[in-house]
Every structure is written in C-alpha cells, then in structure tokens.
Structure 1
Amino acid sequence: MMLITDPFFYLAAIPAVLLTGISKGGFAGGLGVLAVPLMALAIPAPQAASIMLPILCLMDLVGSWSYHKHWDYSLLRRLMPGAVLGIATGWLLFRRMDGALLALMIGVLAILFALQRLAGYQPKGAKWLPDGFSGTLWSALSGFTSCLAHAGGPPIMVYLLPKQLDKTTLVANLTLFFALVNYIKLVPYAELGLLDARNLGTSLALAPLAPIGVYLGIWLHKRIDEKLFYTLSYLFLLVTGARLIWQALT
C-alpha cells in the first residue's frame, strides 16, 4: 500500500484527526479547520485536504447516525443550495491557486477565527439580510472554504450561533450538513486528481482514528467543560495559523 512515510507528518496528522473527530462528535465541528493547517506543516495544503476528505466522510457517517434523532430537515433544505454553489466555486478556483496562497488563506482564516472566539465575540447575525438569503450566503461561503481546505465551520457558525439552538441540535445538524458537503466534494476532488493511490493509502492508515475521535467527542459532549476545551484548542489553532502564514510568506 502506498502512503506517506515521513514521521513528522504523522506527528501532525494523528492529533489533527483525533481533534477533528472529537470536535465533530461533541462540539459542533468548529475545530475541523485545524486539520489541514496542522498537516500542511509537513505536506502541501492541497494534499493535506485530499487526505482528510475520506477521513471526514467516515467521521460524518459515524457522527450523523449517532445524532440522527435530532436532525432538522427544514434547516438543511435552507442551507444546502448555497453550499453546493460554494463547492462548485471552490472547484473552479482550486486549479488556479498555488500551495503557498492556499496555506496563507488557511492561516489567516485560522487566526481570525481563533482570535474571534478567544475574545469571546458572539456573532449577532446579519439582521439587515432576510433570513433565507443570509443562510444561502453563509452556507455558500462554508461550501467554498470547505472545498478548498475543509474550513467550512466558521462561516456556517456565524449564521447558526445567533439562533441559540440546543447544543445537541446544533451538533446534529452541523454533522449532517457537513456529511452532505463532504460527500459532494468527492466529485471535484476525484476530477482534480487529488484522490490518488498515495493520498488514499495515507487516509486508510489514519482511518481507524476517525471513529475513535468521534466517539470520544460524543462521550465528552456531556462531561467536559466546553469553554476550557475550546480555549486550549483555539490557542493551538492560533499558533498553527501564525506558523502557516510565516511558511507561506517565506
């Protein structure tokens, strides 16, 4: 089986996969943005994104089924058209973006998101937009950043957090939303040639960590202090984003 053999890659990839799974399973998936920046410290960002996609699809299967009793189909119908539009836009631009630019974008996004959350800022929502258009706008941005770097969490959270959904309802519907988004993304990633034998082999090697992370997240959902978990994770995300920006600029 072909796969990446660099030990440094796995030092970054193993915690990235576990944290992503824990976040998906227990904390609305906000830390999914962490995986590609961490892996991109060892490999090009587009390759990191392609390795994570099959792992995310596996996580989504586990997480979606675990929360299926809390799905809100009307919310999903409102969000998915914009998400598909964003994925299509990301597909068109993927070939035109070099690795350094993508790493820079991910780093900036990671830092802005981390600073926003560490500062305790809670988005108030775009009150000047009709709710339907607002949902389409933020879901499209989510689909776009998800296609490029699996970083769709921040935009969709800007839309959903002000709605003050029950914690379990929020996690359940974000898990289903990203399950649909990630399985749609398999089409452009395959067409772009990113799902090659080496990347898929590396995904397979990391795959056992996916359900472990998700089930840890589900277990922690009712037991850990969420504020502490996010504070430590966002600090780590902040450092990772700064490292990526330095790497891209130099």
Structure 2
Amino acid sequence: MLITDPFFYALAVPAFLLTGISKGGFASGAGNTGVPLMSIAIPAPDAAGIALPVLCAMDISAVRAWWGRWDRGVLLSLLPGAVIGMALGTLVFGTLSDRSVKLVIGMMTLAFLARSLLASGEAPARAPSRVKAFFSSSASGVTSFIAHAGGPPLAIYLFPLRLPRQTLAATTAVFFAFVNYAKLVPYGFLGVLSVQNLLTSLVLLPLAPLGIRIGVVLAQRMSDRIFYRVVHVLLFLTSLHLIWEGGLR
C-alpha cells in the first residue's frame, strides 16, 4: 500500500524540504523540485498526487507565516486566470501518458531555468496590468495542475512589479494556497489521490512545516543566491533526465 522504495524517499525528502524553504519566502519562486525529482522514481501523475496534500499543508504554514502582508489588488487580478488555467490543466492532464507528462515537466523546468538566467534584476518596476496578470496566472494554473510547477509563469509577471520581499512571498503563498486546494477535487476524479499515494503523502507531511520554518528564518537572515544555485543545478539535471525518459529514450 505504502511506497517503500528507499530511492524514492532519497529524492522526495530533500525535494520537499527545498520546496518548503522556497514557499517559506527564501528564494521565493525558485521552483518546485518535488514532482520533477519524484518522477525519476515513480510515474509522474503519481508524483503529482503525492505532492498535492503535502503542498496544501505547506500552504497553510506559508500563509500563516506571512499573514496579512499580501497585495490584495495584485492577488485579486490573478485569481480569474488561475481558474481558467486549472480548467485547461484538467483537460490536458487526463489525456497525457506518463512519458508525455515527464517530457512536459522536463521542458517546463528548462524553460523556467532559461527565464531565470535571462531575467535582469536591474530593470525598473512595472505597473500592474490586469491583462498580463490574467495570461500569467492562466499559464500558472495549467502548469501547476500538470506538475505543481506554476511558480515560473507567475514569477514572470510578479517579479517585474518589484514588490517588497515580504509582500511577494505573502502574495505568492495565498495564490498557490487557492490553486492547490482547488486542485483537490479534480485530482480526486482523475484518480491520482489513491490510497497508496495518500499514505505516502502522510509519511512526507512532517516536512511541510519544517521546510516552511527554515525558509522563513533564511528569508530574514540570508541572501537567496546560494539557494538559487543549488536548486537551479538540481532542476537542470532533473529536467535533462525527464526529457530523456519522456521523449528521447
């Protein structure tokens, strides 16, 4: 019933800790490593199903940690697109094979890394745009549904706004709390919240508050640079493996 493969947990434990640290506000938007890494050991849809309950627990901790610091106007402009994106993600998710999902996850991860390398931190702040917010959050809803990888499309819109660091962390936390809890129902209908996956999620659940707490502490005391480098190298190697597994092997 429960996944017992040591190789799976060797990938899942550090992946969820890194994801929690990012959700806690340290290197916010660094990327969700959980599904890409777990997909090396198990089918990608199962990896997504195992990750969702843990991410929902992380969302509670993250929202509590940054309570009341979000930008209400920016957040409200993002939610309609997120709903549309999740609806599209539901349609796509049910039609893809495991190899196709791995290929999509690998390509999305590489696209995120390319955007991170090309992004300039020196550009002036942009004004909020409802149109850009809609398209960015729609793309985030799709990629979040398929692989819990909604961070990069959302970051493309949010980062140029140059929100204060705590405001960015809080707004991102509330957005993904909304998205992840909304995904529970369609994930149930798609069959990825199986008993085995839920039991495995339960084993990994203690990593949620631990990762968030570490992220909050690091966000207040350290530069993001080292964490970004570690996550980006990890995601790069993982994306190459998933692309090989999904389309080139």
Secondary structure of 1:60 counterpart? helix
Instruction: Render the CA deviation track for 1:36-78: whole Å, top value 9, x for unaligned.
Output: 1100010011110010000000000011011012022222211
Letter in 2 for 1:173: T
Partner in structure 2 of residue 164 of structure 1: 162
Secondary structure of 1:69 counterpart? coil
- Structure 2 alignment gaps of length 5 or more: none
Secondary structure of 1:165 counterpart? coil
Instruction: Render the CA deviation track for 1:3-53: whole Å, top value 9, x for unaligned.
Output: 101111000000111000001002364234321110001001111001000
Deviation at 1:115, TM superposition (A): 3.1
Distance 2:120 2:237 in 1: 19
Partner in structure 2 of residue 239 of structure 1: 237
Partner in structure 2 of residue 3 of structure 1: 2
RMSD: 1.9
**In the alignment, which of 163, 170, 173 is matched to residue 171 of structure 2?**
173
Partner in structure 2 of residue 34 of structure 1: 33
**Residues 187 and 28 of structure 1, relative CA distance in 2, 3 Å threshold:** farther
Instruction: Render the CA deviation track for 1:179-209: whole Å, top value 9, x for unaligned.
Output: 0000000011011111110000000000001
Partner in structure 1 of residue 204 of structure 2: 206
Secondary structure of 1:236 counterpart? helix
**In the alignment, which of 195, 198, 208 is matched to residue 197 of structure 1?**
195
> TM-score, structure 2 length as denominator?
0.94
Partner in structure 2 of residue 132 of structure 1: 130
Deviation at 1:123, TM superposition (A): 10
Partner in structure 1 of residue 95 of structure 2: 96
Distance 2:96 2:41 in 1: 19
**Residues 227 and 213 of structure 1, relative CA distance in 2, 3 Å threshold:** same
> TM-score, structure 1 length as denominator?
0.94
**2:147 corresponds to 1:152:** no
Letter in 2 for 1:110: T
**Residues 108 and 121 of structure 1, relative CA distance in 2, 3 Å threshold:** farther
Distance 2:28 2:35 in 1: 14
**2:53 corresponds to 1:54:** yes
Q: Do the aligned partners of 1:90 and 1:148 also contact (CA within 8 Å) in 2? A: yes
Distance 1:121 1:164 in 2: 12
Distance 2:236 2:79 in 1: 30
**Residues 92 and 104 of structure 1, relative CA distance in 2, 3 Å threshold:** same
- Structure 1 alignment gaps of length 5 or more: none
Distance 2:7 2:28 in 1: 25
